[in-house]
Amino acid sequence: MAIAVHQNISDGQTIVSGNAKFELGFFSPGTSKNPYLGIWFKNTSSQTVAWVANRETPLIDTSGTVKLDSQGNLTLVNGSGKVIWSSNSSASATDINLVAQLLDTGNLVIRNGDKTNNETVIWQSFDYPGDTYLPGMKIGKNFITGRETYLTSWRSADDPSPGEYTLRFSAVKGEYQQVYIMRSSAIKTRIGPYNGVSFSGWPNFNPDPADPKYVSYMVANENEMYFAYISSSNNTTFLLRTLVTPGGKLENFQLNLPNPEWFQSNTLPVDYCDNYEVCGPYGSCNTATSPYCGCLKGFERKNSDETSPDDNTSVCI
């Protein structure tokens, strides 16, 4: 299904992707009574939201309507006709058969629907992720537009507005690439660096190398730099999502259809030693010791009034 020009989608109506993997419509998260326009996995035991359009501006009742105009702009308006959210997209004069379509990847795209010509994508939700990474999304930076793509946690389970934590890719030319979980501007957890195959510390989604379900890769050139992973061609029943929680954890979930239950495969940080710079300069961290923090070979711990041998902090000289 798709939204055609001047077609309205109201509360209670939904759009389902081609193979019924994802659904778009209105929902209210947790105990909240406020409706949001979002995308969720279709065949799971509990509603699992992957993307929210108006996460910063909730509706206050069920009178919201989604519309696609002839200029290629998708808008969400309330009962008074006020625009609550907009894709801020525009089509060219040659894009005359515009539709907004939900793909089986979970990506909402606005495109020229005439498949007889060169099909163009005008806008896509994958360029504006929320707290959830789906295979096919890019985490990184476009050097031409300057736009950075990253995940932002929800404020709480009942509030999808942007929270304190982000998952960012260090898209800096000439540097080893790493992934960070950040709280505002402070690094909380580091994943990396990239070794040419994967990020050290990045969870392994393919426990069976002979039957990989997903392939990860990194692109770095003059125009853009990003990290992504995609589904293998024979993967039709395995679903994967990566979530940044309101508490600042990175959690990975897997699901094998037709089983509707999500399985949490791993989480970061795993323990105290996954926290960034937790032992200070020249320090080393080991959860098998007490205290956790020690010093690298060639350095020794300096005890002072501020640093006692029993603290999990270290000043190494």
Which of these, 186, 179, 220, lies nearest to 200 by C-alpha position? 179
Of residues 234, 199, 201, the one with CA closest to residue 216:
199
Taking the C-alpha atoms of residue 211 and residue 202, their distance in angstroms, rounded to an integer, is: 19
Q: What whole-number distance in Å separates Cα of residue 313 and Cα of residue 260?
A: 44
Phi and psi at residue 40, to the nearest 5°: -135, 160
**pLDDT mean across residues, the chain:** 87
Across 66-75, b (16+ Cβ under 10 Å) vs e yields bbbeeebbbb
pLDDT of 93 reads: 74
Lowest-confidence region among 50-59, 213-222, 269-278 = 213-222
pLDDT at 289 over 80: yes
The residues spanned by each domain of the chain are 1-125, 129-276, 278-317
Q: Which of 157, 141, 135, 317 is nearest to 238 (CA)?
A: 135
Listed in sequence order, the residues at least 6 apart from 89 whose beta carbon sits closer than 8 Å to its beta carbon are: 72, 73, 74, 110, 122, 123
CB burial of 299-315 (b: ≥16 within 10 Å; e: otherwise) equals bebeeeeeeeeeeeebb
143-152, 206-215, 237-246, 258-267 — which is least confidently predicted?
Answer: 206-215
**Between 231 and 160, whose confidence is greater?**
160
Burial 254-289 (b: 16+ CB within 10 A, else e): bbeeeeeebeeeeebbeeebbbeebbeebbbbeeee
Give residue-wise pLDDT tens across range 246-270: 999 999 998 888 888 999 888 889 8
Taking only the tens place, the pLDDT of each residue in 98-149 is 999 999 999 999 998 765 556 789 999 999 999 999 999 999 999 998 999 9
CA distance linking residue 239 with residue 171, whole number of Å: 27
Distance (Å, rounded) from C-alpha 145 to C-alpha 151? 18
Q: What confidence score (pLDDT) does residue 206 get?
A: 59
The tokens for 107 are 């990506």
* Structural tokens at position 210: 């002979």
> Which amino acid, one-letter code, is at 222?
E
Q: What is the pLDDT of residues 77-96, one digit of tens each?
A: 999 999 999 999 988 877 77
Query: Residues of the chain with pLDDT > 70: what percent?
Result: 89
Q: How far apart are CA 15 and CA 18, in angstroms?
A: 10
Residue 245: φ, ψ to 5°: -80, 165
Read off the pLDDT band of 204 (50, 70, 90): low
Going by the DSSP 8-state scheme, the letter that residue 301 receives in this structure is B
224-235: per-residue pLDDT in tens?
A: 999 888 877 666
pLDDT band with cut points at 50, 70 and 90 for residue 200: confident
CATH architecture of the domain covering 1-125: Orthogonal Prism (2.90)
Q: What is the mean pLDDT of residues 210-214?
A: 69
pLDDT band at 203 (very low <50, low <70, confident <90, very high): low
